[in-house]
Amino acid sequence: MEILNAFVLLANFVLVPAIAYGSQLALGALGVTLIYGILRFSNFAHGDTMAFGTMVVILFTWWFQSMGLHLGPLPTALLALPFGIAACAVFVLGTDRLVYRFYRQQKTAPVIYVIASVGVMFILNGIVRFAIGTEDQQFADGARFIVKAGEFKRMTGLDEGLAIKASQALTVVTAVLVVAALFWFLNRTRTGKSMRAYSDNEDLALLSGINPDRVVAVTWILAATMATIAGTLYGLDKSFKPFTYFQLLLPIFASAIVGGLGSPLGAIAGGFVIAFSEVMVTYAYKKFLAYLVPADWWAPDSLMQLLATDYKFAVSFIILVLVLLFRPTGLFAGKSV
Amino acid sequence: MIKVENLCKRFGGFYAVNDASLEIAKGSITGLIGPNGAGKTTLFNVIAGVHAPTHGRVTLDGEDITGLPPHVLFHKGLLRTFQIAHEFPTMTVRENLMMVPPDQTGEHIWGAWFKSAQVRADEAELRRKADEVIEFLEIPHVADELAGNLSGGQKKLLELGRTMMVDAKVVFLDEVGAGVNRTLLNTIGDAIIRLNKERGYTFCVIEHDMDFIARLCDPVIVMAEGTVLAEGAIDEIKANEHVIEAYLGTGLKNKEAKA
Ligand SMILES: Nc1ncnc2c1ncn2[C@@H]1O[C@H](COP(=O)(O)OP(=O)(O)OP(=O)(O)O)[C@@H](O)[C@H]1O
Ligand SMILES: [Mg+2]
């Protein structure tokens, strides 16, 4: 019984949140990795691209809510998602046209792109804060839980409860669907294959008649789609605050790099590695240990937390360094960084 | 067919191609020879749209194609291979070949979704074509190997195979024979002649192997220091004093004299 309790406790506070968070990071990292693989630069504006897409989703959600539109148990944000994706795609295509295309034509060094993307980041950041404010925004509605802690306790008779939020379940389901669609697209369609070809060898792709403008446009649209979905899921799960999304850049990049930049599969693996590390390292194991170790043997007097939650961003860094030390190209051998 | 007029390409202060003018006749297999660093590859790069020329003009069938990007030239029927073999390393040899032909139904997102029967038919046709090319190049044992794992010579063959996947008008071959063994080199030579005769490809071939050039090419253009030094049938070229001095060396002359 004690062991079961310990396990449920861990599932409730580590497993479930980490899977949801991991899915969100994976979707974010997929966007970063696609841009890196095809356009060959690290897009620092990605976190704020997520914020922008999510902001549009929120505005539409509010509008729909005010008109009395609802999706029953599902959040109204799902209804607004296509609009957010469309707006975000238009926006990134615009920045590509105005900013990156120039550098592409000049065949500039990647570092210039990175700096340019920092500029784009600040602009996006400004737009988002100007439009929706810097405060926390709640936009989740519909059912809150699919498994409630109290019900779980009653049904199983355990002391510990397991709660699964609707947003967590939604995150995982959506992530699985989106990733499946993305992989089908990349591996099965001609356009997807052209993208892989372009990422493999740009010169050869051009000489095989692949139109670079198309590849670039499709890449941006995919990245915007991933970013908006990731941002919306994160916002539904936690809350929306522009600054948080800017901060997400670090774990997202860590995920992409740990998995291997340019490798979509790696981005997903990396997302879960980072999410699990972050949640596990900042979890207080006191209660968990209390279940496993009889109190008369040894009772921990601290929280048994490896790192305070305030330092959770450091975890991404540590994992990043550790992985790169042993596998410089990342877990899934992307392009070396 | 291809006309190059007063072409210059400068890298920094150095003219890799310096006022080169030449013509490639329709249906010919034109040889392009010259010492290392003569600017042959650079000339190809400029014609194929990889580099914009500093000066000069290139026309294809009378149409000005100067500075057009490679993918546009591809659709006009102008293909080239790389001196240093390029491939899509994370795709198999067959997939590499199947990447080439343009304008398939699956290329358009709508097509991929709604015309799947058509897409499958296209794919099957492509696969058949790719298998033909693989058979022709005698590399069926590596058909499903990742192209990145091929040997240098096999990559060269893949380069040639790529040009056989579509109906090209004019193909620029940059040392397809380098690093390929003798027997295969002859096979490649046969392939070039066959493509030229049967499919009407025009070729421009860079090669350092004089026997290969002699067997295939007429006329032969000699480049040195960025410009065209001489042009004519292979025998005229071999007898040309300037060419002997700049490229062939007197060794060849002595050998010929003995024979
Ligand atoms: N991208 C470049 N930047 C600077 N210099 C270049 C570049 N490409 C070629 N060159 C220079 O131009 C000259 C001609 O090079 P090119 O590759 O055209 O020679 P080549 O005739 O093909 O020689 P080889 O027979 O060795 O292949 C060389 O001196 C080379 O250093
Ligand atoms: Mg060369």
Query: Which residues of chain A neighbour B99 with C-beta distances below 8 Å?
Result: 193-194, 197, 205, 208, 210
Domain positions in chain A are 2-244
Three-class SS of residue A155?
helix
- ipTM, two decimals, is 0.81
User: CB within 8 A of B115, min separation 6: which ones?
Assistant: B105
Query: Which residues of chain A neighbour B87 with C-beta distances below 8 Å?
Result: 201, 204
Q: Whose CA is nearest to atom 27 of ligand 1?
A: B36
Domains of chain B with CATH codes: 2-87+150-258 (3.40.50.300), 93-145 (no CATH)
Contact B90 A207 (CB under 8 A): no
Distance from CA of A231 to the nearest CA of B (A): 25
Q: Whose CA is nearest to atom 5 of ligand 1?
A: B11
Q: How far is the CA of B222 from the centre of ligand 1 (A)?
A: 15
pLDDT of residue A302: 75
pLDDT at B102 over 50: yes
Residue whose C-alpha is closest to residue A316's, from A284, A271, A285, A266: A271
Q: Give the HSE-up count for residue A124: Cα atoms under 13 Å, Cβ half-sphere.
A: 30
Ligand 1 pocket: which residues have CB below 6 Å?
A: B 11, 16, 34, 36-42, 83
Query: pLDDT for A267-305, tens place per residue?
Result: 999 999 999 999 998 888 888 877 877 777 777 677 777
pLDDT of residue B106: 45
B8 contacts B17 by C-beta, under 8 angstroms: yes
Q: H or E stretch including B120?
A: helix B116-136
pLDDT at A66 over 60: yes
Decide if A107 touches B, using CB distance below 8 A. no
Query: pLDDT for B158-187, tens place per residue?
Result: 988 998 888 889 999 999 888 888 888 888
Decide if B82 touches A, using CB distance below 8 A. yes
Q: H or E stretch including B45?
A: helix B40-47
pLDDT at B109 over 60: no
pLDDT of residue B103: 57
- CA nearest to B92 within chain A: A197
Query: pLDDT for A136-170, tens place per residue?
Result: 998 988 888 888 888 888 888 888 888 999 999 99
Question: What's the DSSP call for residue A98?
Answer: I
Q: How far is the CA of B39 from the centre of ligand 2 (A)?
A: 7
pLDDT of residue A337: 45
B83 contacts B41 by C-beta, under 8 angstroms: yes
- Residue range B113-142: mean pLDDT, rounded: 83
Number of C-beta neighbours around residue B245 at 10 A: 12
- Residue range A111-117: mean pLDDT, rounded: 93
Decide if B67 touches A, using CB distance below 8 A. no
pLDDT at B105 over 50: no
Rounded to whole angstroms, the Cα distance separating B46 from B173 reads 14
Give the position of tokens 């519909």.
A142
pLDDT at A228 over 80: yes
Three-class SS of residue A36?
helix
pLDDT at A238 over 80: yes
List C-alpha distances in Å: A217 to A28, A96, B23, B110.
18, 8, 38, 16
Decide if B164 touches A, using CB distance below 8 A. no
pLDDT of residue A273: 94
Q: Where are the alpha helices (DSSP H) in chain A?
A: 2-10, 16-39, 46-66, 77-95, 101-105, 110-132, 149-156, 166-188, 190-200, 202-207, 212-237, 242-259, 264-282, 286-292, 312-326
pLDDT at A34 over 90: yes
Decide if B109 touches A, using CB distance below 8 A. yes
Three-class SS of residue B146?
strand
Tokens of B217: 């090419």
Query: Which residues of chain B neighbour A196 with C-beta distances below 8 Å?
Result: 88, 90-91
List C-alpha distances in Å: B222 to A3, B21, B170, B178.
83, 12, 19, 18
- CA nearest to A206 within chain B: B71
Query: Which residues of chain B neighbour A211 with C-beta distances below 8 Å?
Result: 71
